[in-house]
Structure 1
Amino acid sequence: MKLKQRLDAMWGRQHQRPVGILGRMVGERMLRQHQPETDWTLDLLQIQPTDTILEVGFGAGRGIKLATEKAPAGHVMGIDLSKTMLQVATRRNAQAIRAGRVILKQGDIAALPFEDQQFDRIMTIHTFYFWSEPSLITQELLRVLKPAGRLVVTLATGKLNDQGVEEFSHLQTLLEEQVVPDMLRNGFKVVRLERGPFSRQYNNVALIGEK
């Protein structure tokens, strides 16, 4: 049991901040596993050709690449805790970076190194689990979002059990009872939850906020 706990802790750390060779493997695995929710999140963003877009926690960089394709006259920026993922995503988006259309940085969602009202669209996929204070982080995301801009936070709040019945974690209640009301109180004009595709046995829920 102790070995399993240590392994679980190790994988948890790698998912939050992939490091080294193992981190590269984790990043590429997440890229493959998260394709359904990544595609869905990009659709929910309703990206326009000239938009300036931010992805928080860009991982191996597939979301950055897709956003760049959807905004051919816009700009895409990304921030991630992991230096390893910064290196991987930089290679994946090297052409757009050389063209000045993509900028990737290492940094923390709790203190975004961007100006107020800088982005038309913001997305973040499977980072919510690591937010220490959701209220402060949603305020920080609101700060860098332009008026009429859109935020999409995608996460799993449950999974199918052995009988094929969906069982929800505490995250669903947290979103419904605390996060959504808090965002409305703090300046978002519209906040809603939308159900998305299952990815493997996990559900996907999008927290959508509009400024």
Structure 2
Amino acid sequence: MKVKQRLAGKWHEQHQRPRGQLGRVVGERMIQQHQPETDWTLELLDIQPTDTVLEVGFGAGRGIMLAAAKASAGRVMGIDLSETMVQVATKRNAQAIQAGRVVLKQGDLATLPFEDQQFDKVMTIHTFYFWPEPSQIVQELRRVLRPGGKMIVTLATGMLNAQGVEELWPLQATLEEQVVPDMLRNGFKVARLERGPFSRQYNNVALIGER
């Protein structure tokens, strides 16, 4: 049992901050697993050709690639905690980086290295579980968002059980009862949740904020 727990802990660490060759495998695996919610997030974000876009926790870089294709006359920036993922995503987006349309950085989302009101659109997918202080992180994302801009935080809040019935985690109540009201109290003109597609057995929910 201890061996299984140790392996599960290492796997969790790799999802939070992929490292080394195993991290590269995890990153590519997440691209496949998260394709439905990534595509859905980009659809919700409604990126326009001249938008400046930020992805927080970009992983292996597929979301960056899709965003750059939509912001064809704009700019896409990304920040990720993992040096390994910065390397992988840089390789995946090499042409756009060389053209100056994509910039990728290593860093912590708690203190984003960007100016106030720098971005038209901000997105992050499956990072919420690792946030130490959700209210603080949401306000940091709001800080870099321009007036009229949109933020999408995509995450799973439940899964289908063996009988095919959805079971929601306490995380759903946290969003509804704490995070959304706090956003409305602290400068977001719009704060709401939207249900999305199931990916594997997990649901997907978008926390949407408009400044």
Q: Which residue of 1 aligns with 2:124?
A: 124
Q: Distance in 2 between matches of 1:7 and 1:177?
A: 34
Q: Distance in 1 between matches of 2:8 and 2:172?
A: 23
Q: Which residue of 2 aligns with 1:60?
A: 60
* Counterpart residue type for residue 48 of structure 2: Q
* Counterpart residue type for residue 83 of structure 1: E
Q: Which residue of 2 aligns with 1:137?
A: 137
For 1:135, what is the secondary structure of its paired residue?
Answer: helix
Which runs of structure 2 are paired with 1:39-188 in the superposition (5 Å)? 39-188=39-188
Q: Distance in 1 between matches of 2:116 and 2:33?
A: 33
Q: Distance in 2 between matches of 1:168 and 1:5?
A: 24
Q: Distance in 1 between matches of 2:77 and 2:27?
A: 19
Q: Distance in 2 between matches of 1:179 and 1:8?
A: 29
Q: Distance in 1 between matches of 2:185 and 2:142?
A: 12
* Counterpart residue type for residue 195 of structure 1: R
- Structure 2: state its 5+ residue gaps: none
Q: Which residue of 2 aligns with 1:37?
A: 37
For 2:187, what is the secondary structure of its paired residue?
Answer: coil
Q: Distance in 2 between matches of 1:170 and 1:17?
A: 24
Give, in angstroms, the shift of residue 172 of structure 1: 0.2
Q: What's the TM-score, normalizing by structure 1?
A: 1.00
Give, in angstroms, the shift of residue 95 of structure 1: 0.1
Superposition RMSD on alpha carbons, in Å? 0.4
Q: Distance in 2 between matches of 1:63 and 1:208?
A: 17
Q: Distance in 2 between matches of 1:8 and 1:181?
A: 34
Q: Which residue of 2 aligns with 1:27?
A: 27
Give, in angstroms, the shift of residue 93 of structure 1: 0.1
Give, in angstroms, the shift of residue 126 of structure 1: 0.1
For 1:122, what is the secondary structure of its paired residue?
Answer: strand
Q: Distance in 2 between matches of 1:168 and 1:63?
A: 26
Deviations 1:47-95 (A, max 9, x none): 1110000000000000000000011100000000000000000000000
For 1:7, what is the secondary structure of its paired residue?
Answer: helix
Q: Distance in 2 between matches of 1:201 and 1:139?
A: 31
Q: Which residue of 1 aligns with 2:4?
A: 4
Q: Distance in 2 between matches of 1:150 and 1:106?
A: 23
Residues matched between the structures, number = 211
Q: Which residue of 2 aligns with 1:196?
A: 196
- Structure 1: state its 5+ residue gaps: none
Give, in angstroms, the shift of residue 3 of structure 1: 1.0
Give, in angstroms, the shift of residue 189 of structure 1: 0.5
Q: Distance in 2 between matches of 1:86 and 1:96?
A: 14
* Counterpart residue type for residue 172 of structure 1: Q
Q: What's the TM-score, normalizing by structure 2?
A: 1.00
Q: Distance in 2 between matches of 1:162 and 1:135?
A: 34
